[in-house]
Amino acid sequence: MVNFKPILLHVLVWILPLFVHGQQQLTGRVLNDANEPIAGASVFVKGTTQGVTTDASGSFQLAAQGDSLSVTFIGYKPQTVAIVGQTNFTILLETDDQFLEDVVVVGYGTQNRATVTGSISEVKGDDLIKSPQPNLSNSLAGRFSGLVATNRGGEPGYDGSQLRIRGASTTGNTDILIVVDGVPGQVGGLERLDPNDIESVTILKDAAAAVYGSRAANGVILVTTRKGKQGKPTVSYSFNQGFSSPTRLPTMADAATYAEIRNEIDYYNNPAGGMNQFYSEDDIQKFRDGSDPFRFPNTDWQKEVLSETALQNQHNLSVSGGTERTRYFVSAGTLMQDGIFKDGVTKYNQYNFRSNIDMDVTDRFKAGLSVAGREEKRKFPTVGAGEIFRNIYRAYPTILSRYENGYPSTGIENNNPVMMVTDAGGTNLNPKLVFNGILRASYDLPFVDGLMLDGFLAIDKSQESGKNFITPYLVYNYDVSSDQYESRNVGETKAQLQQFQENTSLMTANIKLNYEQSFGDHNVKAFAAYEQSERTLSRLEAGRRNFPTSLTPEISQGGTALEDRTNAGLSWRESRVSFITRANYDYKQRYLLEAQLRIDGSSIFPPESRFGYFPGVSVGWRMSEEDWFNTRLINDLKLRASYGELGGDNISANQFVNNYIFNNAYTIGNSIYPGVDLYKLANPAITWEVSKKTDVGLNARFLDKFDLEFVYFNEKRSNILLPRNASIPGVIGISNPYDAETLVPAENIGRVDNNGIEATLGYQHRGNFNFGVAGNVTYVKSNVVFRDEAPGIPDWQKETGNPLNTYLLYRSIGIFRTQEDLDNYPHVQGAGLGDLIFEDYNQDGEITADDMVRTNLGNIPQLTFGLTLNASYKNFDLSTVFSGQGRSRQYILSEAGTVGNFYSTWAENRWSPNNVDGTYPKVNERASSAISGGLFRNDFWLFNTAFIRLKNIELGYTIPTSVIERIGLNRVRLYANGFNVFTITGLKNFDPEGDNESGHFYPQQRIFNLGINIGF
């Protein structure tokens, strides 16, 4: 019989030390080459998924089983440290000079930032999630040079910023091409992406965008989503609760002031009647002192309709990790935004998910699958936000919002905004579903080192629908003489329904052959690709009136008469084919060259001229890499220049053929037949806009802590699609009886130049106290070189030679305060005391349309700037973003008079017989048709919209690891942040980012957030 005891004893002798070794508790710190702690470094047992990240002091604790530790951090060389015989470590990481400022995403690939020769800016997703603004586009302002991000309104679900790269260079479409995970024009776009899913956002501003050809003239934004990394599963959860309120609202005239204004208006129309034709002095006093609040109220309609704050919140849960062969990132998120209306129905809800999985199937073959989906649920009242705020500002302060018995008043012209925001008039539902799927694969070809084939197939779909069910309701007017309430119906007497559904799909296929190799000091990187895509859209609309009851809001339940029914529909398909190539060469990362060419074909254009060629070339010289460059002050210095020709094809389809509509009807015998009418003549020569972009710039790093970028850019845009209407005499009879356009098609005749400068200067200090600051500024000015203008127009009125989006206005130079002023200066017919004085610009002794002058500024800012600051000390961190603009103007004239209330700025400073020194013109029945108002559009109402704004600020605190590890957590961070915290501007009544000429829009929002991030 075999005696196992000696065998077992020997086994235990060998196993027990290993077991004890596996239970070792390792501690240590990770430092840089200046002996400063590195927070966030990865410390793993080599060959396993056991690992942690260092805390703010660079410290780590790890129960390890293995022979060595692997330590990595971006920008530093990886370090491997033996475990045997040690339990406490001090690990020094060396700066990775080859990595130099990390890798940046570019079109169809990545590049080392040191060798980039184009104008490219980037922001990391970790910075974007520090903004409480749920719309991703609003988080970009102030962070880049060259990007103009203007938030025109704050309505939940439609609160995105208007994005422009280096201003505007065309009278046509200015939309930027959005590329998400390599898919150009991905359905769903950028705005509603969950910032927790974003790895980086990159902006291509010059010839670097030429790789996107005919869609890149307005610039390109690249969005890269997060992917998993090798390591044990990491679970992250974040939640924030926000409180939003308008950044700025106009103060309106109170009831007593408005009553005085009504008297003045009547006096101007009938001076013989005196100053108290509408209200007596006793009435005005009652408005002022509140002694009879029922008959003489002082209603603040903003307080009646708007809440102090609205709620919003976000949840996000993600899991990431992987093995040597498979990596994954999976996330899900929710978003809720309430409107700012009391008892309002406005609400936005979003539910989104994303899954990015990457697999190394073999050492050479890799595959990946990205799937994302989103449900957007919008709910609004049946009246748009602009109309609601129009009536809030117009509603008479002399009328109650509700009577004592609860009846709603007539407000203004039977529009009571207290009721308009509720579901009394029905609801407008606007849901949307978005799906994005990408299948990727790559294969390292074995027969040539550095040769790789990759590609992707992307399928995108969206389904948007709208259901606007409008129901009648009653408002009331109190008749003092009869002591009765008179009911008035709002809208039609019976319910009506407008409904639509729109389906969009995009399929994109790309295959690319890549080559990357080094030959001694010579480095080559190149690719050639083929890409094709097809986008389709179909839309169905239907409407019904005269519903028998409001209880059945379905299209089939509406009225059956022919006049009760409306139906419409449309569909289109757009396809593209592209051949793309790019080559990069550098010698010792000192002399840099990049050349690219894209050949695009599009179904938008005629078959015989569908293909265009879009080249780009850029060069760079890293002067600091020269042997003779040995100054210690400058660590890196690069000079670069680029030139590219890009296209703009975002125009309506089918312009190369005659367009017809079913419009007229013909009677033949006793029957009526539909007729087909010519709507628009064909332009068989239609083509894309061409943008020729030139950049010259430098990048420098000096004193190891400062980074500088300076760029001069010039763009010449030609072939802009414009009509020739102005130069075609009306007597030739080429007109269109069906709308305001002519039968003449648009032609590629417009030209605009655009040039300017960009500069960025940053400073970063790392140590126990980390601190960084970076400022950026952009100045850009457009110039209309040619657009078709009527012969004989005065030079001072031409758009040609001026920036885009300017105004044609009379110049106001004062107010007629005395009869002597009126007698001594030319004026328009009907002008009187208290009206504006218009400059006789052409000095012909009279005020005519020839005295209108083109302004030199418009509502596209020529100057934009930003400042970012970040700091951290121990477990605290702080980040701020300032943004601003200058050299911009916005025309705003309120809808005031007997048709509505006045802003207090006008009401309190108006000229009147009792206030001849007033700084605003006299009031009128309707501002839009007044001599000093809209009848003679003038620059008195042109406001300077320059501002400086604290766009974002966040203060965070990370709870020490020693506290939270007892409950199984790796990281807990608490934070508070704010968006649009304060604004310094000379504009009093509205937010300076608005662009509505009447001021009727859902106001931009100031948001304060409290949140938590948990990792385990």
Query: For 204-224, how does the pLDDT look when each residue is reduced to its tens digit (9 = 90+)?
Result: 999 999 999 999 999 999 999
pLDDT tens for each residue of 612-653: 999 999 999 999 999 898 888 999 999 999 999 999 998 888
| 152, 230: one domain | yes
Closest among 368, 358, 370, 373 to 328, alpha carbons compared: 358
Residue 64 lies in a domain: yes
Nearest to 888 by CA among 939, 945, 808: 945
pLDDT at 16 (0 to 100): 37
Q: Mark whether 155 and 86 lie in a shared domain.
A: no
pLDDT tens track for 384-439: 999 999 999 999 999 999 999 999 999 999 999 999 999 999 999 999 999 999 99
Q: Does the pLDDT at position 602 exceed 80? A: yes
Give kind and range of the element (H or E) at residue 257. helix 255-269
What confidence category does residue 20 fall into, taking pLDDT thresholds of 50, 70 and 90?
very low
The pLDDT, as a whole number, for residue 477 is 95
How far does the chain reach from its first CA to its final CA, in angstroms? Answer: 53
| Mean pLDDT, rounded, for 338-360 | 97
565-569, 602-606, 828-832, 964-968: range with lowest mean pLDDT: 964-968
The verdict on residue 46 lying in a domain is yes
Beta-bridge partner residues of 689: 648
The DSSP secondary structure of 336-405, one letter per residue, reads EEE-SBTT---EEEEEEEEEEEEEESSSSEEEEEEEEEEEEEEEEESS-HHHHHHHHHHS-TTS-SB-TT
Q: Is the residue at 49 inside a domain?
A: yes
Over the chain, what is the mean pLDDT?
Answer: 91
Q: Quick one: pLDDT band at residue 15, thresholds 50, 70, 90?
A: very low
- Residue 9: predicted pLDDT: 39
Q: Is the pLDDT score of 292 beyond 60?
A: yes
The H or E element spanning position 154 is none
Q: Tell whether 207 is covered by a domain.
A: yes
775 falls within a domain: no
Is the per-residue pLDDT at 57 higher than 80? no
Return the exposure string of 583-612: e unless at least 16 CB atoms fall within 10 Å of the residue's CB, then b: ebebeebbebebbbbbbbbbbbbbeeebeb
Q: What is the pLDDT of residue 898?
A: 95
Check residues 671 and 141 and name the one with the higher pLDDT.
141
Dihedral over alpha carbons 1007, 1008, 1010, 1011 (to 10 degrees): 40
Question: Is the same domain home to 124 and 88?
Answer: no
Which of 92, 113, 143 delimits the end of a domain?
Answer: 92
Task: Give the pLDDT score at 107.
Answer: 92
> Is the pLDDT score of 609 beyond 50?
yes
Q: Which pLDDT does position 14 carry in this prediction? A: 39
Greatest extent of the chain over all pairs of C-alpha atoms, in Å: 134
Angle at 664 between CA 662 and CA 666, to 5 degrees: 120
Would 888 be classed as within a structural domain? no
35/114 same-domain check: no
Q: What is the tens place of the pLDDT at every residue in 723-733?
A: 886 677 666 66
993 confidence band (pLDDT: 50, 70, 90):
very high
Lowest mean pLDDT among 187-196, 653-662, 876-885: 653-662
Burial call 375-412: b when 16+ CB within 10 Å, e when fewer: ebbbbbbbbbbbebbbbbbbbbbbbbbbeeeeebbbbb
Whether 55 is covered by a domain: the verdict is yes
Same domain, 213 and 264: no
Segment 553-582 shows an average pLDDT of 95
Q: How confident is the model at residue 99 (pLDDT cuts 50, 70, 90)?
A: very low
- Tell whether 113 and 216 lie within a shared domain: yes
Give the end of a domain, one of 196, 212, 239: 239
Judgement on whether residues 137 and 171 belong to the same structural domain of the protein: yes
The band of 87, judged by pLDDT with boundaries at 50, 70 and 90, is: confident
Res 110 pLDDT > 50: yes
- Asked if residue 107 and residue 235 are part of one domain, the reply reads yes
pLDDT band at 239 (very low <50, low <70, confident <90, very high): very high
Q: Are strands 51-53 and 706-722 parallel, antiparallel or unpaired?
A: unpaired
Q: Which domain holds residue 223?
A: 103-239
On the question of pLDDT at 21 being above 50, the answer is: no
At 431-463, the pLDDT tens digits run 999 999 999 999 999 999 999 999 999 999 999
Is the pLDDT at 740 greater than 70? The verdict is no
Strand 747-765 and strand 591-602: pairing?
unpaired
Same domain for 148 and 216, yes or no, is yes
Three-state SS at 419 = helix
Number of domains in the chain: 3
DSSP secondary structure code for residue 1004 in this structure: P
Please indicate, yes or no, whether residues 40 and 135 belong to a single structural domain of this protein: no
Strands 947-958 and 876-886: antiparallel
Helix (H, G, I), strand (E, B) or coil at 742: coil
pLDDT of residue 11: 37
Kindly report, residue by residue over 309-327, the tens digit of the pLDDT: 999 999 999 999 999 899 9
pLDDT for position 269: 93
Beta strands 177-180; 220-225: pairing state: parallel
The predicted structure's pLDDT at residue 733: 63
CATH number of 127's domain: 2.170.130.10
Residue 879 in domain: no
Q: What is the pLDDT of residues 843-890, one digit of tens each?
A: 999 999 999 999 999 999 999 999 999 999 999 999 999 999 999 999
Answer whether residue 8 shows pLDDT above 50.
no
Based on the fold, state whether residues 221 and 263 are members of the same structural domain.
Answer: no
Domain closes at, from 92, 120, 140: 92
Same domain, yes or no, for 181 and 62?
Answer: no
